[in-house]
Amino acid sequence: MEENKDITEKCTTDHDNNVIKPFPNTPGTRQEGVSADSTTEVDQIVGFNSNENENPAKCPPCSVDNVVIENIPTPEMVRRHRITEAAEIDFENGYDSDKVMGPFLDAIDEEGAQLIEEVEVPEKSSEEEEVEKATATALPSVVPIEMNENTVKKLKVDELRHQLKIRAQSTVGKKAELVERLLKALTDNVPVSVNVAPSRSRGKKKKDVFKSNVGRGFPPTARWRPLVPDGDAVKEPSNPTFKMPRAPTIPENDASFIPQKYNFSQYKFVVPKFTGTKSIIKAGRKKKKSRMPLQYEKVATTEGYFKEQALSKYRLTEKSHPHEFVEVFFPFRKNTKKSQNGGADKEWLSIEQLTKWTNTKVIMNGAGDQVYRDFKPFTIEEIRRHMGIYLLQGIAPSPRVELKFASQSNDPIHGNDFVNNSFGTNAVRRHRQFKAFFAVQNPMIETPDRRNFPNWKVRPLINWINYVGPLVYKPGMSISVDEMTMRFKGKHKDKLRITYKKEGDGFQADALYDDGYTLQVYMRNDPAPKKYLSKGLSPLHTRVMSLFDVLEESYHQCAMDNLYNSAAFCRAAFNHKWKVLCHGVARKGNRGIPVCVSQKEMISRKDQLKVRGTVKAAVLEGDEGCPNLIASSV
């Protein structure tokens, strides 16, 4: 009893209220999150031992016998108890613990008062059993009870609905409306029906859905058929000048072990042909100085290229300088495009427009008077120079962009003489003013709801990127979709914590690429397109489907990593307007990979050598909307 003695010495009994509180700082007990004011929690903490044979350990102030610590509640138990107490009112109104109303209401029949004490039931005589069987069907299914106003108000929502139902009254509405309706029915002496069937769930009847064995989005006839490899192993090529050949993924110490490889030559699959074409000058023009217009013809191609119309409009050739190409994607002067509907010309993003917005923001913030009294309005050339310094920062990063304003003689590591000569003196202060007032959106427009327009401040830039991308470039057969990260060190609600990339934290977007060229972007904090959400796709896949909308040819082959790939998305992409063929690696779980191709990962080196080179494959059959979808594992 030494343990009880130590515990009772630390008793913290509230003698005024006769409530025994938990013992603080007692070894082996957990006191976090326990309220001393809750008697329910105290009952779980302290118990009394009624065994008189043991020596009691008494608490000197209150003489409580045999205080024993048991059933110490964890913080999670206490939290749930408090939530339950706070939600009692909602429970009375018919809500469950998830704050959800129905469709489970009226699912349980009225059972009436329950006997607390059990009494011995005498055996029935044969005559009583016969009478009971004869009258069993005649007994009413519901026994009406006498109710007054107080009784009605104490009924739960499901009980109220049941009482209304047996009186042929409406059961729709909140608890207050149900109480008022039932009281009126009692006042009017509405008769009670004794042949009312038990109440059913108020939820909508679910339609019969044929589930597919493949997964979500596939018809019931779809199934995976395993592919059987050839019986003879593929012969390894020999090269006497190349000693110990091995694959890049095989360690050097395992180069002597050559796994057996088997082909699947008995299966033939037809891959749809890419429909891309390119316009070239028609052959046969003999005179170079002829005034006859050039004639073009279309030829099949699998490579991406800059459109001839864009090259002619901006006078771009293979000998054009880099700044001439930059002028296409970031115009210097006013950038307007004619409206195809006959309306007013639309002004797109340009450095001249950014300068106008920036100077407007300067005036609205009182620069030159209240702050930055030495401020002078920005010129178009200045804005372009300050934007260009960030391009240089991306190519040759420095701890701070302001370090690049120094000359190389003063700062041999981060200084830049070209930048120093371009910006002149007082460049650091001028750049501080640029960062304070630079605007990519018209400051005169009222900011809309952030939930629908989270990127409002940079929306003109995003719109221009998505407009000019497919305007000047036509992608080839092989395209890719991947995430794009924009590094950001400040504080923002939509800033993502990124630990798996060197770029660090920032904003992310899904982007469509072709050979390094960004064709289209979709910011991840933008609302997902509703037209694809309605088809049952996830927000990630709906954004990718929206990126595919800018394509101009059918049967592109899109490579993606395991973040995007799944069997259901491959089917959705193939049923897109441009019938995109997706390929790449996929994650193991919840991506539609069939069980017949899965392989267990081996840990020991001996087991790894045994299964190295093993290939399992399966083809999807029974789905006309996604023919020849193949899943494999290596």
Q: Find how far residue 269's CA is from the centre of its chain.
A: 35
Q: What are phi and psi of 225, to 5 degrees?
A: -110, 120
Compute how many other C-beta atoms are within 10 angstroms of the C-beta atom of residue 276. 23
**H-only helix segments in 396-450:** 417-423, 427-437
Tens-place pLDDT, residues 407-447? 999 999 999 999 999 998 889 999 999 999 999 999 999 88
Sign of the torsion angle spanned by Cα atoms 64, 69, 75, 80: negative
Q: Which of 208, 218, 211, 156 is nearest to 182 (CA)?
A: 156
Write down how long the chain is. Answer: 634
Q: Which of 42-46, 74-78, 492-496, 596-600 has the lowest mean pLDDT?
A: 42-46
Share of the chain above pLDDT 70, in %: 70
Comparing CA positions, the residue from 473, 84, 143 lying closest to residue 304 is 473
Average confidence (pLDDT) over 480-497? 84
Looking at residue 445, its amino acid is: I
Cβ-proximal residues to 371 (8 Å cutoff; 6+ apart), any chain? 365
Q: What is the pLDDT of residue 4?
A: 42
Q: How many Cα atoms sit within 13 Å of 207 on the Cβ side?
A: 3
In 463-550, at which residue ranges do the beta strands (DSSP E only) sit? 473-474, 478-487, 506-514, 517-523
Q: What percent of the chain has pLDDT over 90?
A: 24
Provide the pLDDT confidence category of residue 107 given band limits of 50, 70 and 90: very low
Cβ burial 12-23 (10 Å sphere, 16+ → b, else e): ebeeeeeebbbb
- Kindly report the three-state secondary structure assignment for every residue of 227-286: CCCCCCECCCCCCCCCCCCCCCCCCHHHCCCCCCCECCCCCCCCCCCCCCEEEEECCCCC
Q: Which long-range contacts (CB under 8 A, 24 or more apart) does 15-24 make?
A: 15/61, 15/62, 20/46, 20/64, 20/67, 22/46, 23/69
Whether 215 contacts 194, CB under 8 Å: no
CA neighbor of 437 nearest in space, from 349, 376, 347, 394 = 376
Query: What is d(CA 458, CA 463) in angstroms, rounded to the nearest whole number?
Result: 9
Spell out the residues 6+ positions from residue 37 whose beta carbon is closer than 8 angstroms to its own: none
Structure tokens at 199: 């109440």
Per the DSSP assignment, residues forming a β-bridge with 68 are 47
Q: Is there a contact between 565 and 571 (Cβ–Cβ < 8 Å)? A: no
- Domain residue spans in the chain? 2-86, 103-110+142-204, 350-437
- Would you say residue 70 has pLDDT above 50? no
pLDDT at 143: 47
Name the residue type at position 260: Q
Q: Decide if 262 contacts 615 (C-beta within 8 A).
A: yes
Partners of 278 in the β-ladder: 299
* In contact, 505 and 498? CB cutoff 8 Å: yes
Q: Name the average pLDDT for the chain.
A: 76
The residue written with tokens 């923001």 in the block is: 361
d(CA 434, CA 362): 10
Span 570-589, mean pLDDT?
91
SS3 584: strand
* Inter-axis angle of helices 380-395 and 351-364, nearest 10: 110
Q: What is the pLDDT of residue 31?
A: 40
pLDDT per residue as tens digits for the range 262-293 = 899 899 998 999 999 888 777 655 555 556 66
Q: Which residue has the tokens 């293979």?
A: 318
Q: What element of type H or E holds 544?
A: helix 539-548
User: Kind and range of the H or E element at 126?
Assistant: helix 126-135
Of 564, 606, 609, nearest to 587 (Cα)?
564
Q: How many angstroms separate the CA atoms of 113 and 373, rounded?
A: 84
pLDDT in tens, 490-544: 888 888 877 766 667 888 899 999 988 999 999 998 989 988 988 888 899 999 9
Give, in degrees to the nearest 5, the angle at Cα 472 between 468 and 478: 105
Beta bridge partners of 226: 618
- The CA distance from 144 to 152, in Å, is 13
